[in-house]
Amino acid sequence: MTSTLRSERSQIHFFAYLVGTGIHLASWRHPGALPGASIDFAHQVELVRAAEAAKFDAVFLGDSLAIDETSNPGILNRFDPVGLVTALGAVTSRIGLIATSSTSYDEPFNFARAALTADHISGGRMGWNIVTTRDLTNSTAANFSAPEHLDHSFRYRRAEEFVEVVRGLWNSWDPDAFLHDQASGRFFDATKLHRLDHRGEFFQVAGPLNIAPSAQHSPLLAQAGSSVPGQRLGARYANAIFASHRGIPEAVAFRESVRKQAAAFGRNPDEVFIYQAISPVVAETDAEAWDQVRELDRLIGEDQVLEFLQEYFGASIDFSKLGETATVEQAGIAALPSPRSDFRSSREQIRGREHEVTLKDLYSILTGDKRNDDFVGSADKVARSLERWHSAGAADGFNLMFSLLPGDLDRFTAGVVPLLQERGLARTEYTGTTLKSHLGLV
């Protein structure tokens, strides 16, 4: 495994984040968009096959368990991610399929079974993005008969136990437990069946799970969390960790910190891959790429921006007296004494730029856009930026959160990927058949 890991780390890894018509809030209004993309299975298949043709590690599907009138149009009407990757596993052959599922609002046995089912159907290509669920609309708990959303630290304690239980259930059977010996009548070897009998703070699960290990044994674990408990969860369990940093120094520091934490848990830090989230925009020239950016931004309405921010930050600021061109500094947002916990992960993108980041820019940041000047421009510029970040140790790979789908995906795979392949920085063929093999983990 060590030599395989070394080989994989010499190249840049890619996940493609798929959400409706793109991560940009106004992408559905673009002339080239399919507004109903989130529940168009044929369209989803086309996107995944495009990423597979470019030899990406995986596609990644996020999730939310509550919506309101200010939610991203791409999540208002969409498939359940575990159900979707199960279906996609049957119509693709090599690319990994990562689905988000919450440890706060699911049960370990149900999830372990559904995820391993998807892993079998795909031939060992399923991944689990572990989340504890941020309650952006203050209504998630209400969808699950709960009086209030779980406290941050409480959620992460539950998450660690949840993951332990799921992993224990995935180990219910030895790989060679099923004999299928028709002559002797022995369907399985009972000595290779393992009960879990877990008794913990949050869960009491007897097991065993009624499904055997997959071709990669069990789904790859992925996680995104910038808080101290979030980093601990990722360092302890995940092989793919999603991060979001605007500059190389901050990204390098984060990656080194997570690797040290993984080593402290007795893990090989080379088995942990950090994927920086970016929203690349590729065109023939840098100027044309920025024209594409501005074209999308013009589709965002001012009322949409101000209504979202008012609900997000509450009565501490009266956004009705401000316009979308007002800056974060002018609005006094950076000076708020107790900003929302999920705002903290976005502060890095605006730190030092409060005087120039507008409320419209902030709206895009808070709703998921990961635009970075390094990755907006010609294919050569974007390829060079990716190489620079990778060689500096800022990222093992990138989670590509395209602003506009399928346009940005198509332009990236047609322009940037061939340049990286020519330089030996991106694979030209898959060498394995499972998601874990794409990272050199099996």
Q: Is residue 78 part of a domain?
A: yes
Structurally, how many domains does the chain consist of? 2
Reported confidence tier of residue 12, pLDDT bands at 50, 70, 90: very high
Which is more confident, 343 or 269? 269
Residues above pLDDT 70, as percent of the chain: 93
Q: Is residue 184 part of a domain?
A: yes
Reported confidence tier of residue 193, pLDDT bands at 50, 70, 90: very high
Q: Is residue 70 part of a domain?
A: yes
Distances 267 to 234, 258, 354 between C-alpha atoms, Å: 12, 11, 39
Average pLDDT over residues 76-98: 97
Report the pLDDT value the prediction gives residue 5, as an integer from 0 to 100. Answer: 61
Average pLDDT over residues 148-160: 83
Give the end of a domain, one of 351, 366, 381. 366
Average pLDDT over residues 27-35: 94
Q: Are 221 and 211 in contact (CB under 8 A)?
A: no
Report the pLDDT value the prediction gives residue 68, as an integer from 0 to 100. Answer: 80
> If DSSP codes are grouped into helix, strand and coil, which group holds residue 33?
coil
17, pLDDT greater than 90: yes
pLDDT digits over 377-392, tens only?
999 999 999 999 999 9
Domain extent, residue 430, equals 2-288+369-438
| Degrees to nearest 5, angle at CA 37 with 79 and 410 | 120
Q: Is residue 276 part of a domain?
A: yes
pLDDT digits over 309-358, tens only?
887 887 778 888 888 888 988 888 876 654 555 566 667 677 778 888 88
Q: Is residue 293 part of a domain?
A: no
Same domain membership, residue 376 and residue 362: no
Same domain membership, residue 237 and residue 103: yes
Q: Hey, what are 173's tokens? A: 């059977």
Residues above pLDDT 90, as percent of the chain: 69
* Cα dihedral 227/230/232/238 (nearest 10): -140
- CATH classification at residue 220: 3.20.20.30
pTM higher than 0.85, yes or no? yes
